[in-house]
Amino acid sequence: NSIRARYSATPLQWSAEIAQVALRKSNGCILDHSGVYGEKAYAFWFGVPETKPDFPAQARSAFDAWVAEDERQAYLAGDLLGGRTLYADCWKASRLMGCAFSTIRCKNTRNQEWWFYCDIDPAGNVIEEYEGNVST
């Protein structure tokens, strides 16, 4: 929400219902852009399979990646493709968010990674709706 405030977007409210959708996606262990919500996905892994992640630190890493400096610069320059992640974060019409980590390490994937999804309602980054939803 601190990022949203910088771009005059109201804070997102937590939704347990949307978090359940994010949990299903994160436990699916794949990049799954589907459904009615806007979504963000983040995968990470460690060299030692038995290692449990520091979930709060990984959540911070995910959000940092989603609002990275190159995204911010593209957003400020009006680059509709380069700033897409930050556009979704700062979409003014969005009101609700739910996030979840995979509950187990994804052993069916090459890197046996963990997944973190955040779903947002309503979805942002609708090309015809940039005016009024995106501001610098």
Is residue 100 very low, low, confident or very high in pLDDT (cuts 50, 70, 90)?
very high
Mean pLDDT of 69-92: 67
Residue 20 has pLDDT above 80, yes or no: yes
What span, in angstroms and rounded, lies between the C-alpha atoms of 74 and 60? 21
Residue 124 has pLDDT above 90, yes or no: no
pTM of the model: 0.80
- Select from 59, 79, 68 the least CA-distant residue to 136: 79
Q: Are 75 and 87 in contact (CB under 8 A)?
A: yes
Q: Are 83 and 123 in contact (CB under 8 A)?
A: no
Q: Are 130 and 92 in contact (CB under 8 A)?
A: no
What span, in angstroms and rounded, lies between the C-alpha atoms of 7 and 92? 9
Strand pairing partners for 117?
Answer: 41, 100
Is residue 133 very low, low, confident or very high in pLDDT (cuts 50, 70, 90)?
confident
Is residue 25 very low, low, confident or very high in pLDDT (cuts 50, 70, 90)?
very high
Residue 18 has pLDDT above 90, yes or no: yes
Domain ranges of the chain: 2-129
Does domain 2-129 match CATH 3.40.33.10? Answer: yes
